[in-house]
Structure 1
Amino acid sequence: MHQTELVYLSATEALRRFAEASLRPSELLEALINRIEAENPKLNAFTAVYADSARVAAREADERYATGTARPLEGIALAVKDNIPIAGHTVTYGSKLYEHNVTANTHPGVERLLDAGAIVIGRTTMPEFGEAGNCYTPLWGVTRNPWNTQYGPGGSSSGAAVALAAGMTTISDGSDIGGSIRIPASCCGVYGYKAPYGRNPNDLPNTFDPYMHYGPLARTVDDIRLMQGIISGRHVDDIGTVAETVDYTRVQDVRGWKIAYSIDLGYFPVDEDVRDNLLSLVEGLRALGCTVEEVPLDWGTEVFDAWVATNSSRGSAARFVHDFERDRHLLSDYAEDMIAKGKELSSSDLIEALEVHVQMYRELGPILENYDAFLCPTTALPSVPADRSPLDLDIEINGEVVPPKVAEAWFMTYPFNSLAQLPVLSVPSGISRTGVPTGVQIVGRSYDDNRVLSVANALERHVHATDFSALQQGVQQHDHN
């Protein structure tokens, strides 16, 4: 097998080949390292590459297969986001303030992946403190979308999705507080899963944050299932984790299911390509024997205001900036803005935000009870320019300038962080005229992971899966109409 084909193997397929001895972990890892050397300089997906330690771990994995002691993820390369702690590793959060920060603890989700045999190949880029829907930082610069490098990859698990799309890792992890797993998954044509709150363990202090989710990104639904089966479950360090277990190997037949969808969630202007690609998936599900119906939602920009209030109040960025006035000149414009917003909040703002959350579910809850799943776009437009500031509100969709609250958050993911107990998977839906992929969110009833993943399996196998053939050859589109 050619090396450019090797780097796009799914984890599931790579494990099969490892087990039958037709491929060694060390061979696959070397192909991935070569790919990083070729592609990362123009994409900037990694803050650090651990080639030497990964090679040692891959040779140990070779030996485990030879001796019959391989673990469930033995020898699989994992890219870890730059806010996820691993003991002894530098974690920068994309900030100059933490350029030399070395952590003493390991995130419990990563710990489970490592204990299962995964090999950390490197650290992936993110916007500073995860506070943007695309990725540039004072410390690491601009991260670019491999499908069209003029555009961003989404955020904040930006490098994680780029590394997958460009064949620089086999699996990636991410965190999601407003769409940070799902947005880059959509922009880069891969899968990203926000499990329901409590399904996957968080690290301190996020164990008390229902809006924060740790989870997987991958190129196939089966790899999402594989990772979820390892990450999920009660953990002694996280009081919020639930005891209920999920059989992630179970795939249900969706024939006869009722599926609801909304193009705009009630208030988003939506790009024509995003809309058309969603409707293509709708027709695909109908062809598979599903009843698919458009349903109205009366949500409005108060949903955005509520999310901003809860996100800013938790101090996602402020928690890391101990002397704001002293250090603000070192921050990105968007991190500085988010901290400033948090300082202006009142208790009544938070009370109003929680009331909005309640009203949101009063509308969506009955829909989820009457349908097996709910679909909507992941983002309102495929992506934004790679170096665009989130504070630049001059965005057009379908030739019209959008309202400021949509320009600031052009992603349609954050409502489902407010409704944290709902499982949501972003799946690829097609390619836009700019060459950048589009995505659709599959939303399920609270804690009904398998129904969401079963719809995704049906779409992947029978309707649409991303064709990475151009990217396998290292071809990025630089011009667009």
Structure 2
Amino acid sequence: MARAADLRFLSATEARAAFLAGRLSPVELLQAQRAAAEALVPRLNCFTQQYWDEAEARARRAEARFAAHRKGSGPRPRPLEGIPFGVKEGHGVAGQPWTDGSLLYEDRIAAATDVSVARLLKAGANQVARTTAPEFACITVTHSRANGVTRNPWNPAVSPGGSGGGAAAALGAGLLTVCEGSDYGGSIRIPAGLCGLVGFRPPAFRVPEGSGWLFNRMNERGPLARSVADCLTLYRLMAGPHLDDPMVAARPRLPRGASGRLPEVRGWRIAYSRDFGGLFEVEPEVAATVENALPGFAEAGCLVEPARLEIAREPFFRAALSAYRLHSQGLVESFDDAQRAQLSDYVRRYDDYFARLDPWPLDEVWDVASSGYRRLAALFRGGVRALVTPTLATTAVPADLDPVDGPVTVDGRAVDPLLGWALSYPVNLWGTLPSITLPCGLTSNGVPLGLQIVGRPYDEAAVFALAAAFEAARPFRDRPWLDGFEG
């Protein structure tokens, strides 16, 4: 059997192949991750609940299913049979705590399982934990009064990002194999970028949402994993219509089954922008790391060209924050004074943060957002298949960052601490563009850096094809600082 440290970092695709061949059992994988979790969870603070005993019982049943299948006496195991899995704190699983990172809901139990989570569980995913998120998942780092500070496995002084920081920290440390999440401004892609993972934000109206988000499609559910293949597998399972969500009307057009192939990317034109058309300040080290990785696309046969993309920074950023305020307005208005006293400080100040903006009405927001998108659409109309950018402007994001007042500096300049360092949020404002983040190198503070691929509306197949081609050309094999732990 391989070393426990090696088992912990297998992708779901690799683990399933080993299960089918009899080289590894779901129990061995789970036990390796459980042993590591006992030592590392107190240091990372990435789980709110853990279900290892129940998960081990399910792993033994999965082990029996694989054994029966190898003997020819049982059906082929389900797509995620026995794969260790984490569920984001704000997402419901029937009978489990559903706190949303808040002391106000510390006794709340979910009555139902969210559709996207239920689909992964039905496919055999073995839930071992619930993963930390900031209170109400409303910031881009992960800490709260309810749970404390979640830390990055590559550098504990640095945030794993948010709002899916617990999932990313656990995956980055080898304590889980796959996770699910949601992405309102980068809540999947930001943590993936800071923890050396792959995270996919689907276009709007693909994955059923919880009831509170049905008509706000700046937010989308999606996968967080260790490989492009894993993200594709999870996305296939999560996506598609359901009666609980009237906005999801069609399944994505993706290759299906073991013989399905992603499109061939040779000859495709992709455009690169270091700052998303002028929207962001970006650390020179970040830009250099991404640019040093761009030849990976050329090695896959793509033609890489500079993006002719100019978007006015201040109006676009104001429009984005106005849109977030309109969707988040009154976050704390329904709470009385005693309840407000239990909230994390940033939640109490959230409305004040947005009130500083002198926000625009919705028609002005969409006028500015549409103007920005027309510049990107011009690239697509000109034959560009996707836009590539850094995922983040910096990796120097303190684990306990104040998301309202910061500070965050990029290349010596102060930027907005909530979104000014995350090149992810324009995709959410435009809604229907698929976007994936995957690792492209390490920065000087030992933290991974993500590269973002943004595709044409609803062109998920192209985004996954480009990501898979880049991953094959530039595989990311680095391990975090705690990889030496053997269990």
Does the C-alpha gap of structure 1 residues 42 and 113 become closer, same or farther in structure 2, counting only changes over 3 Å? same
Equivalent pair of 2:27/2:63 in contact (CA under 8 Å) = yes
Taking the aligned partners of 1:147 and 1:337, their CA distance within structure 2 comes to: 30
For residue 364 of structure 1, what is the aligned residue in structure 2? 376
Alignment of 1:59-70 (within 5 A): 59-67=60-68, 68-69=74-75, 70=77
Q: Does 1:158 align with 2:135?
A: no
1:252 aligned to which of 255, 260, 263: 263
CA distance in 1, matches of 2:323, 2:365: 7
Q: CA distance change for structure 1 residues 153 and 236 in 2, over 3 Å: closer, same or farther?
A: same
8 Å CA contact 1:182–1:192 kept in 2: the answer is yes
Q: In structure 2, what is the equivalent of residue 440 of structure 1?
A: 451
1:379 equivalent to 2:408? Answer no
- Give the gaps of 5 or more residues in structure 1: 476-481
What pairs up with 1:53-132 in 2 under 5 angstroms?
A: 53-67=54-68, 68-69=74-75, 70-132=77-139
What is the distance in 1 between the residues matched to 2:390 and 2:359?
A: 32
2-structure distance, mates of 1:433, 1:348? 39
Please show how residues 119-198 of structure 1 align to structure 2 within 5 Å: 119-198=126-205
Describe the shift of the 1:471–1:252 C-alpha distance in structure 2 as closer, same or farther (beyond 3 A). farther
Counterpart of 1:261, as a letter, is Y
Cα deviation per residue 1:377-398 (whole Å; 9 max; x = unaligned)? 1111014111121123433223
**Residue deviations 1:244-268, cap 9 Å, x none?**
4422443222221101011112131
With over 3 angstroms needed to count, the CA separation of the structure-2 counterparts of 1:103 and 1:146, relative to structure 1, is same
Question: Is this contact kept in 2: 1:312–1:338, CA < 8 A?
Answer: no
Deviation at 1:163, TM superposition (A): 0.7
Other-structure match for 2:71: none
Match of 1:284 in 2: 296
Deviation, structure 1 residue 351: 2.3
User: Could you say which residue in structure 1 is the equivalent of 2:463?
Assistant: 452
Residue 372 of structure 1 aligns to a residue whose secondary structure is: strand
- Aligned-residue offset at 1:193: 0.4
2:217 to 210, 229, 246: 210
- 2:19 matched residue in structure 1: 18
Q: Which residue of 1 aligns with 2:349?
A: 337
What is the DSSP-based 3-state SS (H/G/I as helix, E as strand, rest coil) of the residue aligned with 1:205? helix
Q: 1:269 to 1:346 in 2, by over 3 A?
A: closer
Judging changes above 3 Å, is the alpha-carbon distance between structure 1 residues 239 and 343 closer, same or farther for their aligned structure 2 residues? farther
Residues 346 and 298 (structure 1 numbering): CA distance in 2 closer, same or farther, change over 3 Å? closer
Q: Secondary structure at the match of 2:128?
A: strand
Deviation at 1:159, TM superposition (A): 0.7
2:232 corresponding residue in structure 1: 225
TM superposition shift of 1:66 = 2.9
**Counterpart Cα distance in 2 of 1:257 and 1:351:** 36
**With structure 1 as the length reference, what TM-score do the two structures score?**
0.93
Change (3 A) 1:316 1:115: farther
Query: Aligned-pair distance for 1:317?
Result: 7.7
Deviations 1:405-447 (A, max 9, x none): 3675311111110011000001112100000111111000001
**DSSP-derived class of the 1:409 partner:** coil
Query: Secondary structure in 2 aligned to 1:84?
Result: coil
Aligned match of 1:479: none
CA distance 1:326–1:312, shift in 2 (3 Å):
farther
Moved more, 247-256 or 164-173: 247-256
The CA RMSD over aligned residues, in Å, is 2.0
Matches within 5 A, 1:288-299: 288-295=300-307, 296-299=309-312
Match of 1:304 in 2: 317
Alpha-carbon deviation of 1:20? 1.8
- Number of the residue aligned with 2:420: 409
1:303–1:212 distance in 2 versus 1, CA, 3 Å? same
Q: Is the 1:74–1:116 Cα contact (8 Å) retained in structure 2?
A: yes
CA contact 1:200–1:214 (8 Å) conserved in 2? yes
Give the CA deviation at 1:327: 2.2
Secondary structure of the structure 2 residue equivalent to 1:304: helix
2:51 paired residue number: 50
Rounded to whole Å, the distance in 2 between the matches of 1:385 and 1:285 is 32
1:54-100 deviation digits (Å, cap 9, x = unpaired): 11211221222233232111111111110110011101111111111
User: Which moves more between the two structures, 171-180 or 253-262?
Assistant: 253-262
Mean Cα deviation higher: 60-69 or 188-197:
60-69
Q: Could you tell me which residue of structure 2 aligns to residue 478 of structure 1?
A: none
Structure 2 CA distance for partners of 1:97 and 1:316, relative to 1, 3 Å:
farther
Q: Matched residues in 2 for 1:355 and 1:11: separation?
A: 43
Q: Structure 1 pair 397/78, CA: closer, same or farther in 2 (3 Å)?
A: same
SS at match of 1:27: helix
Q: CA deviation at 1:346?
A: 8.6
Q: Is the 8 A contact 1:313 1:342 kept in 2?
A: no
How many residue pairs get aligned? The number is 472
Out of 287, 290, 307, the residue aligned to residue 275 of structure 1 is 287
State the AA in 2 paired with 1:207.
L
Q: Which moved more, 1:293-302 or 1:101-110?
A: 293-302
Matches of 2:125 and 2:370, distance apart in 1: 40
- Contact conserved, 2:254 with 2:460, CA < 8 A, in 1? no
Q: TM-score, normalised to structure 2's length?
A: 0.92
1:418 aligned to which of 429, 439, 451: 429
Query: Does the aligned pair in 2 maintain the 1:321–1:327 contact within 8 Å?
Result: no
Query: 8 Å contact 2:353–2:404 — kept in the other structure?
Result: no
Matches of 1:240 and 1:171 in 2, distance apart?
Answer: 26
Secondary structure of the residue that 2:211 maps to in structure 1? Answer: coil
- Could you tell me how far apart the structure 2 residues matched to 1:340 and 1:189 are? 34
Instruction: Quote the Cα distance in structure 2 between the aligned partners of 1:54 and 1:449.
Output: 32
Q: Aligned equivalents of 2:252 and 2:275: distance in 1?
A: 34
User: Residues 317 and 338 of structure 1 are in contact (CA less than 8 Å); yes or no, is this contact kept in structure 2?
Assistant: no
CA distance in 1, matches of 2:93, 2:81: 18
Alpha-carbon distance in structure 1 between the residues aligned to 2:230 and 2:363: 39
Distance 1:140 1:29 in 2: 25
SS for the counterpart of 1:151 is: coil
Q: Distance in 1 between matches of 2:456 and 2:312?
A: 18
Q: Which moved more, 1:135-144 or 1:342-351?
A: 342-351
Contact 1:90-1:101 within 8 A present in 2 as well: yes
CA distance in 2, matches of 1:51, 1:328: 34
* Helix, strand or coil at the partner of 1:427: strand
Contact (CA 8 Å) 2:139, 2:163: kept in 1 or not?
yes
